[in-house]
Amino acid sequence: MRIRVLLFSLFLFIGFSGMSQILEPVKWKFSSKKLSELEYELTFIASIDDGWHLYSSDLPEGGPIKTTFNFEENKSYQFSSDLVAPKAIETFDDMFQMKIRYFEHKAVFTRNVKLKPGAKVEVKGYVEFMSCNDETCTPPMEADFEFKLEASAGKTAKVAKPAQKEVVKAETIVPAVKSVEKEEEKKEVIAAAKIEKASPVQQQESKEESGSLWVFFALAFLGGLAAIVTPCVFPMIPMTVSFFMHSSESKVKAKLHGLFYGFSIIVLYTVIGTVVAVSFGPDAANFLSTHWLPNIIFFVVFVLFAFSFFGMFEIVLPSWMVNKSDRQADKGGFMGAFFMALTLVLVSFSCTGPIVGTILVESAGGQVLKPIIGMFGFAAAFALPFTLFALFPSWLNNLPKSGGWLNSVKVVLGFLELALGLKFLSIADQTYHWGILDREVYLAFWIVIFILLGFYLLGKLKFAHDSEVKHISVPRLMLAIISFSFVVYLTPGMFGAPLKALSGYLPPQTTHDFDLNKIVRDEIKMAGGVGSGSVADNGLCEDPKYADFLHLPHGLEGYFDYEQAIRCAKEKGKPVFVDFTGHGCVNCREMEAAVWSDPRVLKKLREDFVVVALYVDDKTDLPEEDWVTSSRDGKVKKSIGKKYADFQASRFGVNSQPYYVLLDENGKELTTPKAYDLNADNFVKFLDEGLKNFNTK
């Protein structure tokens, strides 16, 4: 019994002492393999501790820190392939309101390089990465690599050893890469493979990914059905079906040709999706999702398509292309059916192009299956009526007659194109801080668009090609009600309402200038005698650095620079609440939403502490006078994130977030720091203990 108690006490001691250690959940190994006399394959292996995950290299901006491979420039070699990454687990993150991708257990990346003849090359660089588990995250870390390669025949490639400087860096954030025997490596790879194969988490995420593709297929299928009832397509149904009925020798051949016709439509559109998948592979995902150029192009394309649907102009393909396909269709037979399908695709481009473009833009974020599945879903729906009416021509008598209602469908799609196109402009605007499309401006556009759509559906707004609406049908009335109801939902957002259902599509709340919630909070402060909004009145001693792009939640006032906070604490005679946080820290946002929002916590932070939030992953460059040289690795820290990540690791021996520390005005700890804990009562006790020790010192 005593032995059990001793063992339990030993494990408990180890567990508690380990809480304050530097976390090293991801360990890197680097090797190279000779493919030819001039070409090598570089391999980057990340071994990930159980319960942790490493973020993918193709995450959009505004989310966690992605894994990035940075190479030093060297004219003696060039890359002969893009970075090849393993298949990542994909899931929707409620906190970031976006899809994120990550790896578990093990991730192997490769990239090929080609050397100049006779060259001896050192391929150097570093991997920047971030990892998280269910409770905490590490700050952005770096692992240096160096591959010694030689472009000569008959020599085997050497396994690259980590650069000496990586061992130095390992003391701060990355463990030194140790040499491993081949047998041990083999066992490790097999064990990791077994874990990955049996992992229920991965199986669940695989199901979620499949479910996401099914949803996208369904949306693309609906897009195909919408394309059918456009003015370019709907009138062609009886024309093309009649063509098969009169150009074949028998009804059986007519039906076979009709089936082949529908199959050809599916093939043609699926080929388009395949071309997109090949052209925009996984390595293009980040460029397409965050760079201003593709997003501005997508925005302009959506606007042009919307104007086309409104009847401003027609987007048509060159006539020679359509005429040539039409001449081939006249030959009849299966080849004629194929070219008849091609003619339909070309002729209907002005109506189907915007819908197809929308599907491709939504799916071209570097994925392979999604554009193919999307175009297959669209084509299946688009080909369905032609195939069915070819098999059952008597159904043609039941088709509604072409008329003005077809143009109405086109105009409604134009309004939707215009609204959706703003998302791409918003992405570019947020990424590059242009300030063009803040939240209320974005909402104003949407409100006006959907008001106009509602009036159009009621017949109060007409375009050049519209027929006169003497009365409205019940479906149009229902659509008008939906449009106006959506406007009612959007309107409170103009005054600061969060509109959580649309948070993934709207610019962030921090870009909202007229936030009524913030105004009310400020008025309450003034009514309570806090003041009129000056620095002193808000409890601050000087204007906070970086406040133009860094913010505290719930209207709290504070600093983002440690030295400023300490100076203010001395002036005010208050303790300091240090929040080690990060833009990509999901658990930090959870703590702010679930714990900081507690009235007791907010009151104490606002009245009893000088609050400072230190972002360990911010990439903003510091002015030279604010650079610091690390006492741990001897490197100069030139950005906000690197400065405070090093400060947290060197001062407190911890590199995970969230991490909360209470200090006196001289920077001495008042109580045991606190990490992720969603129990607000525990957090209140933590603050009370710090205040008590501060007042009794």
Total number of domains in the chain = 3
User: Is 533 a domain residue?
Assistant: no
Sign of the Cα torsion 606, 612, 617, 618 reads positive
What domain range is 112 assigned to?
25-198
Listing DSSP states for 492-514 in one string gives GGGGT---GGGTTTSPPGGG-SS
Say yes or no to pLDDT of 642 above 80.
Answer: yes
Does residue 295 share a domain with residue 231?
A: yes
Alpha helices in 97-199 (DSSP H): 164-170, 182-198
Q: What is the mean pLDDT of residues 134-138?
A: 74
Least confident of 67-71, 118-122, 685-689: 118-122
Token pair belonging to 678:
């969603």
User: Is 500 a domain residue?
Assistant: no
Say yes or no to pLDDT of 540 above 90.
Answer: no
Does residue 222 share a domain with residue 111?
A: no
At 202, the pLDDT band (50, 70, 90 cuts) reads very low
Tens-place pLDDT, residues 230-266: 655 655 565 565 555 555 555 676 677 777 877 888 8
Q: Are strands 131-132 and 106-115 parallel, antiparallel or unpaired?
A: unpaired
pLDDT score for 28: 93
* CATH code assigned at 92: 2.60.40.1250
pLDDT score for 532: 43
Does residue 192 share a domain with residue 215?
A: no
Of the candidates 383, 403, 423, which is a domain's last residue?
Answer: 403
pLDDT score for 16: 36
pLDDT score for 470: 80
Does residue 228 share a domain with residue 192?
A: no
Of the candidates 166, 198, 230, which is a domain's last residue?
Answer: 198
Q: What is the mean pLDDT of residues 273-286?
A: 55
Tens-place pLDDT, residues 139-153: 788 888 989 888 765
Pair 118, 152: CB distance under 8 Å: yes
Pair 336, 259: CB distance under 8 Å: no
Q: What is the mean pLDDT of residues 152-167?
A: 41
Does residue 154 share a domain with residue 262?
A: no
Q: Which one of 80-94, 232-246, 403-417 scores highest in mean pLDDT?
A: 80-94
User: Is residue 460 packed enough to be buried (19+ CB in 10 Å), middle (13-18) or exposed (0-12)?
Assistant: exposed
Whether pTM > 0.85 for this model: the answer is no
Which of these, 169, 175, 71, lies nearest to 125 by C-alpha position? 71
Does residue 673 share a domain with residue 574?
A: yes
Does residue 654 share a domain with residue 545?
A: yes
pLDDT score for 398: 60
Does residue 650 share a domain with residue 549?
A: yes
pLDDT score for 10: 39
Q: What is the mean pLDDT of residues 255-280?
A: 73
Q: What is the mean pLDDT of residues 463-484?
A: 87
Does residue 218 share a domain with residue 184?
A: no
- Preceding omega of 658 cis (within 30 degrees of 0): yes
Q: How far apart are CA 190 and CA 193, in angstroms?
A: 5
pLDDT score for 452: 96
Q: What is the mean pLDDT of residues 399-406?
A: 58
Q: How far apart are CA 69 and CA 414, in angstroms?
A: 42
Does residue 691 share a domain with residue 563?
A: yes
Q: How far apart are CA 607 and CA 175, in angstroms?
A: 42
User: Is 586 a domain residue?
Assistant: yes
Instruction: Report the greatest alpha carbon distance in the chain.
Output: 103
Q: What is the mean pLDDT of residues 574-583?
A: 90
